[in-house]
Structure 1
Amino acid sequence: MSYLNELCRFYERMTRSADSGMPPDGMTAENISFALEIDTAGDLIAVADLRDGRGRGQRLFVPARVPRASNVAANFLWDNTGYALGVDGKGKEQRTRQTAAAFRELHQRLLAGCTDTHAVALLAFLERWQPAHFAALDVREALLDSNVVFRLTGEEGFLHDVPALREIWRAARRADDDGAGRGICLVSGEAGPIARIHPSVKGVVGAQSSGAALVSFNCPAFESYGKEQSFNAPVSEEAAAAYTSALNYLLAREHRQMVRIADTSLVFWADAPVPEESCLGDLFDLTSSDDSPQDRTQVERLKAILLALRRGSPLNEADAALSPDVRFFALGLAPNAARLSVRFWLSSTLGDMLRHCGRWYADLALERQFPEKEPEFPPLWLLLDRISTPGRNKIVPPALAGQLGRVILSGGRLPESLLGVVLARIHAERRPDYFRAALIKAWLCRNKHEEKDMTTLNTDEDNIGYRLGRVFALLEKAQRDALGREVNAPLRERYIGSASATPRLVFPMLLRLAQHHVTKAKKNQFDGYDVRFSRQVGDILAGMSDFPATLSLEDQGRFMLGYYHQNNANYRKNDTAQPDAGEE
């Protein structure tokens, strides 16, 4: 089944529960900042502030938002001040007059003949209100361009909650459906009115704040057989409203069913109501400490499951309360101008997803250099941060984040480009830290099927890249032992890139330089320092007749892993010397 079909099924399941937070048919959830309180004569009595302490509007179910981009189209019983009051901050007076006229005309047309007190009061307000009155309002600066609803003074509810007005809205939607083109819906397979323009999806990071379209056509090149706009991909009005409502629900932060992975917004849901439905996002970040006690309990539960899976325990033994056979769905969305692109779509069981996540963290498992600072389960956002291009706005390589999110949940090979990206950042910053070394290890385990234990130093490893990385760590330690912590030009900062790429050009010079460092270190450290150093280097280089001219990318990755392991071992054996803070 397609993701549109599953989103529609999710919408239907959620609307069967009154307290689910899913807007009912014909309604959408919008952030409303203010309520305009009017009396029966149509006078504006007060402006009620609905915002919370952070200045965010209250999320209310209001009549469904009309699709609009550059066109003028008003919403029923709510809108921004440009439509509802004829005042906005865009500086386009003619367009603002058009939007105010559209709002007034819509309500005069739909509410004509309605004798309900609320409808009469709203029509009177629209007749009496003048944009010039806006300057007299105390909250005019905060009110400008905000979304507003209406309320009759002295009442608690809003006009859009009045049964008579909601029935008028439903009747208007049925009339619009009758006038729409009809066809076979590709989602439901049923005949019905086809949506010409699909509702907008809001909440995707990087997309337009007003919303973006998942299905849309706006150029003749996209059209076929004379069908314009979304008639090219016939989806019924009902299905379009359902899948967009479901996406808007999932993308809302308060529902905890969305995770941001760089430029990808990942939403997930199940085909049945299970407690795990809102915790899948925690698998991407098991380090959160500021959540509620309930959230922290859930995170600890997930950690216990992953540790049990790492030990090889079956899932039912890892947590007997799980529902491993429940189907889970994951949809990765990325912004693309006024549209959304689908980075990936996954359909699997909860058990399979947990097993894949367990394998991911097992591949990442690595001895930590600073256990008090480095998490045992590195969150994906932090891994991406360590391989992103530094600057005011850190840049993660395009599509890489989405690919990693898909691999974590589905298994399979890691992107081939990942190793090159990690090495590029190490060469640029001269720092193979815990997170970058963990990504290298995961890439080697997953893509090269490394079965040897690479979580800590492996003295039996005979790979040339790994051995040279170990030697480089010993040479660096000899320099520090000789010159102290304040070294003007540490070997790592000057040579780690060239040493890992072209060993034959660099290592002979480094070994000659090391003789001076060892002689001086012998005076600073202990007698026999030179013997111990020579024995360590000799054991590692045993059987090597010459240094290779170049190392492949794989062996450069093993070089960095060998350096990281040996560097940890150097300072674990000697508690009086600690790794440089710059190597954190």
Structure 2
Amino acid sequence: MILQSLVNYYEILASDADSDIPRLGYGKANVSYAVNLSADGELLNIIPLKINVQKGKKLVEVPQSMEVPEQEKKSVGIKSNFLCENSSYMFGIDNKGKPERSKECFKAFKELHINILQNINNAAAKAVISFVNNWDIDQGLEHPALQEYLDEILSGANLVFKMDGGEFVHQNKEIRQIWEKHKSSSENTNVMQCLVTGKEETIARLHPSIKGVKGAQSVGGSIVSFNDRAYESYGRYKEQGLNSPVSEYATFAYTTVLNYLLADGSHKMYLGDATIVFWAESPKKIYQDFMSLYMNGGMVNNDERMVKDEVAAREVRSVFEKIAQGKPIDDLSDVFDEKTNFHILALSPNSARLAVRFFTSNSFGSLIRKIAMHYQDLRMEKQYATDADAISIWRLLNETVSPKSNDKAASPLMAGATLKAIITGSPYPASLYNAILIRIKAEKEINYYKAAIIKAYLLRNTNKFKEVLTMSLNEQSPNRAYILGRLFAVLEKAQHDANPGINATIKDRYFTSACATPASVFPVLLRLSQHYISKAEYGYVSDRKIADILEKLDINNHPFPSNLSLEEQGVFILGYYHQRNAFYQKNNKKSEEN
């Protein structure tokens, strides 16, 4: 399913005239320098190809992404690429301290280019052949043309050929034709039914590496690979590809389009240890623009090189306005086809391989409604005017991490499970809820974001407590855990009124116990409250409020509970937040009136 979706998307992009997806036989590579040759194959100079890009507030130099002949999958062996290589292959020199291996690399490079280019009557081809025939490896480090950029060249930067400052050799029309002919004449004779296309085709033995997954090896990783007898079956010794037969065409298509997606910084996300890419079965980027903004709570990540479609931004704002007003998400605008299939793939590093964390497919309209439901579940009366209207998944996960922790990343498993719950509309993971409770009890602080997460979890994961899972205070609720949370907030306010500006309140000492074992704490707090009420100027207001809440509890007939379940503790916290926020909103209203 994953490979079929990727191959299908490759074909959609390949048929689009405006797409820059590499065609069959080609791939993308980050190229730093061009080796400028004369018509006689003499090295004239090195031309830098790096470009300046904005990363945050800084302008940095990065290699230029270019379409080059398809790169070989390399491990420990020696195998040369065509017309795009590093200094080990192109010059026979590097800084790895293995000169003999570098010579073997240059030998492989030379043999490949002579083999492909020797029968073509083309000036650029003749120049390359003359270069590889006349290049002196032993004097390579001393060549004056290399000196200016020698350190970076030796460090493994990719290089391509250029003809006397003009055309890139790998872009020459005749050379492209001879390369495509060479690629089509595969030595692989294994023909089987491809698991992806269903056709009888030549099967790929090795699959190209996937690059761009956070935490994976720099040379890339594989989704499909068999490199040990333990993973082989049916006697497929040294014929790894036949264990999971994928045609050479399907292999090229899925790896090319996946690398294309992973190279696009504006349409991928990092969540925990997972790298997440998403795509619609359409050549239009607006679907990805919309999803990228939507998952980020409508905010643009300024650290990425991204330009968002203004139409997508307008549509995201429209959706969030409906959510803020409590309106259902009906039809999207005519810009989108709601029936278009949309795919989300999460990949994690796993040594030389890549692990699929999850993969989901749905219609674009259905997916938008599921994420809208997530934002609806999170709706909560804000604590401060500066609090975000829409809570992005990153902000949500950040609330599970201690502010004192050196590692600010949330648990990878929890992050993946949370995102999966959001995009599928399934229950949130218990680990998210438990992490929030732990942070509240450790920090003794209940902010807007934590309260919203608790409300969303209980709303989606339980069939109880519906009457208290609201945006703001519900004074009519008979739920005891909720009322106890409200009572704690009233007792804390009574202390504040008696001691304005106090640093440590009853919350710092008693909140955790009150939340978990009310019977052991509330009698003590009620006795203390009489002292605060007598001391405060308007203590009678708090006294009346406490009496009203105690009347709802009816503690004479129903004593304080000895303990509260984890779910009830969440309800207690919501009661506390709602009641405290009601005081805050009331004070703000008075200030505005004055």
TM-score (norm 2): 0.89
3-state SS in 1 of match to 2:415: helix
Alignment CA distance shift 1:183-1:311 (3 Å): same
3-state SS in 2 of match to 1:224: coil
1:577 Cα deviation from its structure 2 partner: 11
Could you tell me which residue of structure 2 aligns to residue 561 of structure 1? 574
Q: After superposition, what is the alpha-carbon deviation per residue over 1:229-267, rounded to whole angstroms, capped at 9, x for unaligned?
A: 23211101110110011111112225x432222222222
Residue 184 (structure 2) aligned to one of 167, 174, 177: 174
1:432 Cα deviation from its structure 2 partner: 2.1
> Structure 1: how far apart are the matches of 2:97 and 2:406?
31
1:346 Cα deviation from its structure 2 partner: 1.6
CA contact (8 A) 2:326 2:376 kept: no
> Structure 2: how far apart are the matches of 1:482 and 1:154?
82
Q: Which amino acid aligns with 1:191?
A: E
1:105 aligns with 2:111: yes
CA contact (8 A) 1:419 1:553 kept: no
Could you tell me which residue of structure 2 aligns to residue 194 of structure 1? 203
CA contact (8 A) 2:444 2:507 kept: yes
1:60 aligns with 2:97: no
3-state SS in 1 of match to 2:451: helix
1:330 Cα deviation from its structure 2 partner: 1.8
Write the mapping of 1:345-384 to structure 2, written as runs, cut at 5 A: 345-372=359-386, 374-384=387-397
> Structure 1: how far apart are the matches of 2:478 and 2:228?
60
Write the mapping of 1:132-531 to structure 2, written as runs, cut at 5 A: 132-133=141-142, 137-143=147-153, 144-155=155-166, 157-175=167-185, 177-228=186-237, 229-253=240-264, 256-274=266-284, 275-288=286-299, 295=309, 297-308=311-322, 311-313=326-328, 315-316=330-331, 319-372=333-386, 374-388=387-401, 391-449=405-463, 451-452=466-467, 453-487=469-503, 489-520=504-535, 522=536, 525-526=537-538, 528-531=540-543
Alignment CA distance shift 1:431-1:220 (3 Å): farther
> Structure 1: how far apart are the matches of 2:547 and 2:521?
21
> Structure 2: how far apart are the matches of 1:577 and 1:472?
23
> Structure 1: how far apart are the matches of 2:330 and 2:421?
20
1:40 aligns with 2:50: no
Q: Which amino acid aligns with 2:28?
A: A
> Structure 2: how far apart are the matches of 1:554 and 1:388?
21
3-state SS in 2 of match to 1:279: helix
1:340 Cα deviation from its structure 2 partner: 1.3
Q: Which amino acid aligns with 1:276?
A: Y
Q: After superposition, what is the alpha-carbon deviation per residue over 1:252-306, rounded to whole angstroms, capped at 9, x for unaligned?
A: 225x432222222222222234442442222111342577886455234223124
- CA RMSD in angstroms comes to 2.6
> Structure 2: how far apart are the matches of 1:490 and 1:89?
63
1:397 Cα deviation from its structure 2 partner: 1.9
Alignment CA distance shift 1:297-1:311 (3 Å): same
Gaps of 5+ in 1: 579-584
3-state SS in 1 of match to 2:388: coil
Q: Which amino acid aligns with 2:24?
A: D
CA contact (8 A) 2:289 2:308 kept: no
> Structure 2: how far apart are the matches of 1:72 and 1:117?
28
Gaps of 5+ in 2: 53-59
Alignment CA distance shift 1:305-1:57 (3 Å): same
CA contact (8 A) 2:88 2:102 kept: yes
Q: Which amino acid aligns with 1:37?
A: N
1:220 Cα deviation from its structure 2 partner: 2.3
Which has the higher mean CA deviation after the structures are superposed, 325-334 or 358-367? 325-334
> Structure 2: how far apart are the matches of 1:478 and 1:82?
76
Q: After superposition, what is the alpha-carbon deviation per residue over 1:57-93, rounded to whole angstroms, capped at 9, x for unaligned?
A: 1111001111112322221100223332333344444
3-state SS in 1 of match to 2:412: coil
> Structure 1: how far apart are the matches of 2:565 and 2:88?
61
Q: Which amino acid aligns with 2:112?
A: L
Alignment CA distance shift 1:22-1:389 (3 Å): farther
> Structure 2: how far apart are the matches of 1:94 and 1:56?
31
Q: Which amino acid aligns with 1:103?
A: F
1:51 aligns with 2:63: no
Alignment CA distance shift 1:368-1:96 (3 Å): farther
Q: After superposition, what is the alpha-carbon deviation per residue over 1:380-422, rounded to whole angstroms, capped at 9, x for unaligned?
A: 1111111135533323223222222222222122223221122
3-state SS in 1 of match to 2:51: coil
Could you tell me which residue of structure 2 aligns to residue 7 of structure 1? 6
CA contact (8 A) 1:257 1:268 kept: yes
1:134 Cα deviation from its structure 2 partner: 5.9
Which has the higher mean CA deviation after the structures are superposed, 131-140 or 57-66? 131-140
1:98 Cα deviation from its structure 2 partner: 3.4
> Structure 2: how far apart are the matches of 1:245 and 1:311?
43
1:159 Cα deviation from its structure 2 partner: 1.0
Q: Which amino acid aligns with 2:586?
A: K
TM-score (norm 1): 0.90
> Structure 2: how far apart are the matches of 1:300 and 1:80?
45
Which has the higher mean CA deviation after the structures are superposed, 191-200 or 501-510? 501-510
Which has the higher mean CA deviation after the structures are superposed, 289-298 or 534-543? 289-298
Aligned residues with identical type, % of pairs: 35
Q: Which amino acid aligns with 2:526?
A: L
1:215 Cα deviation from its structure 2 partner: 0.7
Alignment CA distance shift 1:444-1:50 (3 Å): same
3-state SS in 2 of match to 1:574: helix
> Structure 2: how far apart are the matches of 1:238 and 1:71?
24
1:551 Cα deviation from its structure 2 partner: 1.5
1:552 Cα deviation from its structure 2 partner: 1.2
> Structure 2: how far apart are the matches of 1:289 and 1:196?
42
Alignment CA distance shift 1:300-1:517 (3 Å): farther
CA contact (8 A) 2:533 2:539 kept: no
> Structure 2: how far apart are the matches of 1:358 and 1:249?
29
> Structure 2: how far apart are the matches of 1:336 and 1:501?
40
Alignment CA distance shift 1:210-1:492 (3 Å): farther
Which has the higher mean CA deviation after the structures are superposed, 386-395 or 561-570? 386-395
Q: How many residues align?
A: 568
CA contact (8 A) 2:454 2:570 kept: yes
3-state SS in 2 of match to 1:69: coil
> Structure 2: how far apart are the matches of 1:424 and 1:363?
21
> Structure 2: how far apart are the matches of 1:123 and 1:490?
82
1:339 Cα deviation from its structure 2 partner: 1.3
1:152 Cα deviation from its structure 2 partner: 0.9
3-state SS in 1 of match to 2:356: strand
Residue 87 (structure 1) aligned to one of 84, 90, 93: 93
1:541 Cα deviation from its structure 2 partner: 3.5
Misfit runs of 4+, over 6 Å:
290-293
1:539 Cα deviation from its structure 2 partner: 4.7
Could you tell me which residue of structure 1 aligns to residue 55 of structure 2? none
Alignment CA distance shift 1:515-1:336 (3 Å): farther
Alignment CA distance shift 1:359-1:147 (3 Å): same
